[in-house]
Amino acid sequence: METTADMRLDGNAIGGLLREIFTVEMTTAVGTCNNCGAVNEVGRLHVYLHAPGTVVRCPACEAVLLRIVRGRGRYWIDMSGTRTLEMAEP
């Protein structure tokens, strides 16, 4: 029996998707959780790909940081759970 926890991936798995959107390397970008304030590199975030979209959660409190849905040539991005996102310039 596979549980949701077994399906969990990490931010490394969406390095390609995030680079499509942000155009720079993102697994070493640093995000701050709007719920608990935890600060983590994207590579350490929890990622779930089995939903219709991509769901990214805080590894400390499991709050949703980011939701991305791609389709019909567009991206839909909900970042309301992310307080800040810091990344290197290209």
Partner 1 sequence: MAGAALLGRLTWQAAELAELMRETPRVSSLFFNVPEWPGHLAGQHIDVRLTAEDGYQTERSYSIASPPEARLVELTVERLDDGEVSPYLVGELKVGDKVELRGPIGLHFVWRMGDQQPMLLIAGGSGIVPLMAMLRHRALGMHKPPARLLFSSRTYADIIYREELDRLVAMNDGLTVFHTLTREKPDGWKGFTRRLDAAMVKEVAWPKEETPAAFVCGPTPFVEAAADLLVAAGYDPLWVKTERFGPTGTVGG
Q: Of these, 28, 32, 34, 35, which contacts partner 1 (CB under 8 A)?
A: 28
Query: To 10 degrees, the CA torsion angle through 83, 12, 89, 73?
Result: -80
Residue type, 83: R
Cα separation, 49 vs 67, in Å, equals: 10
Q: Is 71 in the site for partner 1 (CB under 8 A)?
A: no
Q: Is 32 in the site for partner 1 (CB under 8 A)?
A: no
Q: Is 11 in the site for partner 1 (CB under 8 A)?
A: yes
Map residue 16 onto helix, strand or coil. Answer: helix
Residues that bind partner 1 (CB under 8 A): 2, 5-13, 15-16, 19-20, 23, 25, 27-28, 41-44, 49-50, 90
